[in-house]
Amino acid sequence: MSNRTMLGLELGSTRIKAVAIDENHVPVSSGDYTWKSSFENGVWTYSLEEVWKGLKTAVAGLEHRENIAAMGVSAMMHGYLAFDKDWNLLVSFRTWQNTITAQAAAELTEAFRFNIPQRWSVSHLYQAVLNGEAHVPEIAHITTLAGYVHFMLTGVNAIGVGEASGMFPIDSETCDYDAAMMAKFNDLVADRNLPWTLSELLPKVLVAGEQAGTLTAQGAARLDNLLAPGIPFAPAEGDAGTGMTATNAVAPRTGNVSAGTSIFSMVVLEKPLEKVYEEIDLVTTPTGKPVAMVHCNNCTNDTNAWVGVLGETAKLFGAAPSTGDLYTRLYEKSLEGDPDCGGLLVCNYMAGEGVTHMDAGRPMVIRKPDSKFTLANFFRAQLYSTMSTLKIGMDILAGEQVAIDSLTGHGGLFKTPVVGQKYMAAACNAPVTCMETAGEGGPYGMALLAAYMLRKEAGETLEDYLNAHVFANAKGTTLAPQQADVDGFNAYITRYKAMLDVERKAVEVL
């Protein structure tokens, strides 16, 4: 057995992570760097200087870097990075968090007859055109954060098809940008006399298993020569694609739920949806299979704040529980609550929410005089709230008769055994599996894609590779939905939908 490892880099919303796996696909070394977005001049952004500081810190934490045989870059999807012909950044990086492209998203959705969310790269580009922004005529390249890092390390302006599907719609037959929609975009901007067409701006599309360049000497220098030039790269992917890979959810009728600061589900489709839904994004797996994505901005932030307050309360009485113990005890306490949370309601909206058409958020706890206001019911309502908006989107898929054989959960919401898994099974009315191997999430998935590129056999699909070599003996637990929990969550969600009128009024007056 050689000591070769495969490296996955991921630039997430709160951490930049590096995870190396061995030839048995087991994580053997990791490093990370904590960062956060900033709100500057009305735009949520990250500094590109900090991108490189964070990557160097994460890579420096790896052991035996000389053994890396293949690697790849992943990052939070969507957003807008616009460069001139010499790859100089024209405006600050506009992240997925921004909700400043409503007009563009609506006009593109109508023109394409295909849902184009506000956070997609093409929405940002078209909004900049509509705004008449000065940088637009100078644009020579637009890409994502993963695409930018990949280009700077390899000199190859290309991204994986899953990542590309968050920039512009993909034709699943060709695994390339949809030509008819691209022509419609060019028609929309024809009267602007721009010196470019859309195809000239977008990165090339590659599928999993293809090689996407090697680490150049210039790229290695950007990482302070912590890695040697010549390492082959897999196509850069978004956090959706790497999450699907890390949870073995890349085949039709499979799906995964990633739950942390935000929450999103990915369900691989057998056939196209009948209608266009603003609540449902259509993206792809890393091999180009169509995927229905329900993306929600709000998940655990409000719960985290309440855990902090309850921790402060405990300290008043001389107790000093660790943060981990607080979460574990409160999660487990919620299991004693009523299946419908005793009539309590929680709205966890710290920010706006596209699925429910909210431009801003006001967290709330609501109860009627006859509600059973206990700690167990309160915290169960907190946890229900983290997945209620997701359920609204998943119910749309259920109405479209989308079949789901299995859902895999990963992220902070599932760290406490059983609890989040049990409630998610009830919300989606489908079995939910949590696997030990998905603990590192996105960077682990990116490392798996690098391993697939390096080690796949002729004709071996990504699904076959993951099933045969990675997850055949994976340890995990599966919980099927319990009818009492399903009924309780359905009762809760009925009240939750009615409560959204209160939330809209709160945003208006507070």
The pLDDT score that the predictor gives to residue 415 is: 85
The angle formed by the CA atoms of residues 492, 497 and 498, to the nearest 5 degrees, is: 100
How many domains does the structure of the chain reveal? 1
C-beta of residue 115 within 8 angstroms of C-beta of residue 106: no
Q: Provide the CATH number for the domain around residue 173.
A: 3.30.420.40
Q: Which helix (H) or strand (E) holds 41?
A: none
Q: Is residue 274 part of a domain?
A: no
SS3 75: strand
- What are φ and ψ of residue 53, in 5° steps? -60, -45
C-beta of residue 250 within 8 angstroms of C-beta of residue 287: yes
The pLDDT score that the predictor gives to residue 1 is: 46
The angle formed by the CA atoms of residues 396, 397 and 401, to the nearest 5 degrees, is: 120
The pLDDT score that the predictor gives to residue 440 is: 58
Cα–Cα distance for residue pair 337/149, rounded to 1 Å: 47
Q: Is residue 114 part of a domain?
A: yes
Tokens representing 190 are 């024809």
Which amino acid, residue 349?
Y
Q: Is residue 60 part of a domain?
A: yes
The pLDDT score that the predictor gives to residue 373 is: 98
Helix axes 323-334, 375-399, angle to 10 degrees: 70
Contacts 24+ apart (CB under 8 A), 278-281: 278/109, 278/115, 278/354, 278/357, 279/354, 279/355, 279/392, 279/393, 279/396, 280/115, 280/393, 280/396, 280/397, 281/115, 281/117, 281/166
Rounded CA Rg of the chain? 22
Give the position of tokens 């990116």.
446
Cα–Cα distance for residue pair 440/433, rounded to 1 Å: 16
With b for 16 or more beta-carbon neighbours within 10 A and e for fewer, the 301-311 pattern comes to bbbeebbeebb
- What are φ and ψ of residue 321, in 5° steps? -65, 145
Q: What is the DSSP string of 118-146?
A: TTSHHHHHHHHHHHT-TTGGG--EEE-HH
For 143, left (φ over 0), alpha (ψ -120 to 50), or beta?
A: beta
Instruction: Walk along the chain (510 residues) in steps of 10 and give the mean pLDDT of each run.
Output: 88 93 94 93 94 98 96 95 98 92 95 94 98 97 98 98 97 95 97 96 98 98 97 96 91 90 90 90 95 92 95 95 94 98 97 88 96 98 97 94 88 88 94 72 92 92 94 88 97 97 96
With b for 16 or more beta-carbon neighbours within 10 A and e for fewer, the 116-129 pattern comes to bbbbbbbbbbbbbb
186 burial type by CB count under 10 A (0-12 exposed, 13-18 middle, 19+ buried): middle
Distance of alpha carbon 304 from the chain centroid:
19
The pLDDT score that the predictor gives to residue 438 is: 47
Q: Is residue 305 part of a domain?
A: no
Strands (E), 37-150: 38-40, 43-45, 68-75, 81-83, 141-143
> What would you measure as the largest C-alpha separation in the chain, in angstroms?
69
Q: For the chain, give the number of residues.
A: 510
Q: Is residue 472 part of a domain?
A: no
- What are φ and ψ of residue 172, in 5° steps? -65, -20
Q: Is residue 478 part of a domain?
A: no
Cα–Cα distance for residue pair 301/13, rounded to 1 Å: 13
Look up the domain containing 91 and give its range.
5-247
Q: Is residue 477 part of a domain?
A: no
499 burial type by CB count under 10 A (0-12 exposed, 13-18 middle, 19+ buried): middle
The pLDDT score that the predictor gives to residue 92 is: 96
Helix axes 102-112, 121-131, angle to 10 degrees: 110
Instruction: Show Cβ contacts of residue 488 under 8 Å, excluding neighbours closer than 6 positions.
Output: 338, 339, 340, 341, 426
Cα–Cα distance for residue pair 264/158, rounded to 1 Å: 25
Helix axes 375-399, 419-428, angle to 10 degrees: 40
Give pTM, 2 decimals.
Answer: 0.87
Instruction: Show Cβ contacts of residue 460 under 8 Å, excluding neighbours closer than 6 positions.
Output: none
SS3 397: helix
Q: Is residue 309 part of a domain?
A: no
For 405, left (φ over 0), alpha (ψ -120 to 50), or beta?
A: alpha
C-beta of residue 286 within 8 angstroms of C-beta of residue 461: no
